[in-house]
């Protein structure tokens, strides 16, 4: 296994200030311990949250910051207590790299709701060092927060599943919405939304995509397999769809009114928020009261759910629709993502970018 005592350096692409512009940055990886896995990064998806964090949209960014939390890599070395992984395994790392392991969420396999969770980047690890993400050559991660990628799944296809995929799978699982025959809505057709369509369809749901324009209608219906397509500004179409949906997964990461979508829900329907929005949302209470409807939220998924989701996607042969780019294109890719100019997820080919050579 080699020595796990010496610190290593790696090179990533880091934001240095709220401009969000990324550039090469070499830093020291934390000391690896007996429960750690040393991973050489193969590829990493680009999530809208990476933009929020790089640009300090949430007011909590620390620089220099290497984003990236949809990481797929190869195990290069394992600690003496690591039992789940071996050198050569292809593995994934998502949004988290630590938790307290003592609270109720941690004790019930919902560690993503731990108040002391440690983010994959823009956080501080237990040793006091900043965490850095997957836009880098290598990472060192506790085995609890590493998942094995099922054999036969292409790394670049899997990367978006580690955030976008589980963000949809988790609420469907938690709220008992995995049975066939349900009618679901996917609000917003981006990285999370397109996986929402695919996963919900694979569960046997009738899926309606709801979008602000008809620009993605053909893609939604013909390429992703959605059953219906609603344009939110089409008053007649929205009226016809009133009281028709069991749930809506709201993936929109910018301010938007909730009332038009609440009206689409059946009795006891759920509007599930998954987009990070830093301004208050509004609605009038009768919209919820008069149908016993729920506005709720869901945040990524647990490690257990991530493993289940990967197995589900492997069984159903689900893949993400991606555009693969090199690391030196990262700033352009993030600009395009901000304009929704991607179908539907950018994935950075880190291995080909040869950051640690």
Q: pLDDT (tens digit, 9 = 90+) per residue, 301-357? A: 999 999 999 999 999 999 999 999 999 999 999 999 999 898 899 999 999 887 776
Taking the CB of residue 188, how many other CB atoms lie within 10 A of it? 24
* Total number of domains constituting the chain: 2
- pLDDT value at 2 more than 50: no
| 197-219 residue pLDDT tens | 999 999 999 999 999 999 999 99
Asked whether residue 213 is assigned to any structural domain, the reply reads yes
- pLDDT value at 36 more than 50: yes
Asked whether residue 306 is assigned to any structural domain, the reply reads no
- pLDDT value at 25 more than 80: yes
Asked whether residue 104 is assigned to any structural domain, the reply reads yes
| 48-85 residue pLDDT tens | 899 999 999 989 999 999 999 999 999 999 999 999 99
Both 179 and 285 in one domain: the answer is yes
- pLDDT value at 1 more than 60: no
Q: How far apart are CA 53 and CA 58, in angstroms?
A: 7
Both 337 and 290 in one domain: the answer is no
Choose between 88 and 7: higher pLDDT.
Answer: 88
Both 34 and 126 in one domain: the answer is yes
Mean pLDDT of 210-233: 95
Q: Look at 4-8, 104-108, 187-191 and tell me which has the smallest mean pLDDT.
A: 4-8
- pLDDT value at 6 more than 60: no
Both 149 and 221 in one domain: the answer is no
Asked whether residue 271 is assigned to any structural domain, the reply reads yes
Count of H helices and E strands in the chain?
Answer: 12, 19
Asked whether residue 58 is assigned to any structural domain, the reply reads yes
Torsion (CA) 65, 66, 67, 73 in degrees, nearest 10: -160
Asked whether residue 1 is assigned to any structural domain, the reply reads no
What is the CATH number for 195? 3.40.50.720
Domain that includes residue 32, residue range: 9-163+321-349
Both 153 and 175 in one domain: the answer is no
What is the CATH number for 41? 3.90.180.10
pLDDT of residue 7: 67
- Determine what percent of the chain is predicted with pLDDT higher than 70: 98
| 102-120 residue pLDDT tens | 999 999 999 999 999 999 9
pTM of the model as a whole: 0.93
**Listed residue (131, 37, 22) closest to 80, CA to CA:** 37
Both 153 and 173 in one domain: the answer is no
Q: Do 134 and 120 meet the contact criterion of CB atoms below 8 Å apart?
A: yes
Mean pLDDT of 180-203: 96
pLDDT of residue 357: 64
pLDDT of residue 3: 47
Mean pLDDT of 124-142: 96
Both 13 and 159 in one domain: the answer is yes
- pLDDT value at 5 more than 60: no
Angle at 73 (CA atoms; ends 72, 75), nearest 5 degrees: 140
pLDDT of residue 32: 78
Asked whether residue 251 is assigned to any structural domain, the reply reads yes
| 253-289 residue pLDDT tens | 889 999 999 999 999 999 999 998 888 998 999 999 9
Asked whether residue 268 is assigned to any structural domain, the reply reads yes
Long-range contacts from 11-14, C-beta under 8 angstroms, 24+ separation: 11/136, 11/137, 11/355, 11/356, 12/66, 12/68, 12/132, 12/133, 12/135, 12/136, 12/137, 12/355, 13/66, 13/135, 13/136, 13/327, 13/330, 14/63, 14/64, 14/65, 14/66, 14/132, 14/135
């Amino acid at each position: 296994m080699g020595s796990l005592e010496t610190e290593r350096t790696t090179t990533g692409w880091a934001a240095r200030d709220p401009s969000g512009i990324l550039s090469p940055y070499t830093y020291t990886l934390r000391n690896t311990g007996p429960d750690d896995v040393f991973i050489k990064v193969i590829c990493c998806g680009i999530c809208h949250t990476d933009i929020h964090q790089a640009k300090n949209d949430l007011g909590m960014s620390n620089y220099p910051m290497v984003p990236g939390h949809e990481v797929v890599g190869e195990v290069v070395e394992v600690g003496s207590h690591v039992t789940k992984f071996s050198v050569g395994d292809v593995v994934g790392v998502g949004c988290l790299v630590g938790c307290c392991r003592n609270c109720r969420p941690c004790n019930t396999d919902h560690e993503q709701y731990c108040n002391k969770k440690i983010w994959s980047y823009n956080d501080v690890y237990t040793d006091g060092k900043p965490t850095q993400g997957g836009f880098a050559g290598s990472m060192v991660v506790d085995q609890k927060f590493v998942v094995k990628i099922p054999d036969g799944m292409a790394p670049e296809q899997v990367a978006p599943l580690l955030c976008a995929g589980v963000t949809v799978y988790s609420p469907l699982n938690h709220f008992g919405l995995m049975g066939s025959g349900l009618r679901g809505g996917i609000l917003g057709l981006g990285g999370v939304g397109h996986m929402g369509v695919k996963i919900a369809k694979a569960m046997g749901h009738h899926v309606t995509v709801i979008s602000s324009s008809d620009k993605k209608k053909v893609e939604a219906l013909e390429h992703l397999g959605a059953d219906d397509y609603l344009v939110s500004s089409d008053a007649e179409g929205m009226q016809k769809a009133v009281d028709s949906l069991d749930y809506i997964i709201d993936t929109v990461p910018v301010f938007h009114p909730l009332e038009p979508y609440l009206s689409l829900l059946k009795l006891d329907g759920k509007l599930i928020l998954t987009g990070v929005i830093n301004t208050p949302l509004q609605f009038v209470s009768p919209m919820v009261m008069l149908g016993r409807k729920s506005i709720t939220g869901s945040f990524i998924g647990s490690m257990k759910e991530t493993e289940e989701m990967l197995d589900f996607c492997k069984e159903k042969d689900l893949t993400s629709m991606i555009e693969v780019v090199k690391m030196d294109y990262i700033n352009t890719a993030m600009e395009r993502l901000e304009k929704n100019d991607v179908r539907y997820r950018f994935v950075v080919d880190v291995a080909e970018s040869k950051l640690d050579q």
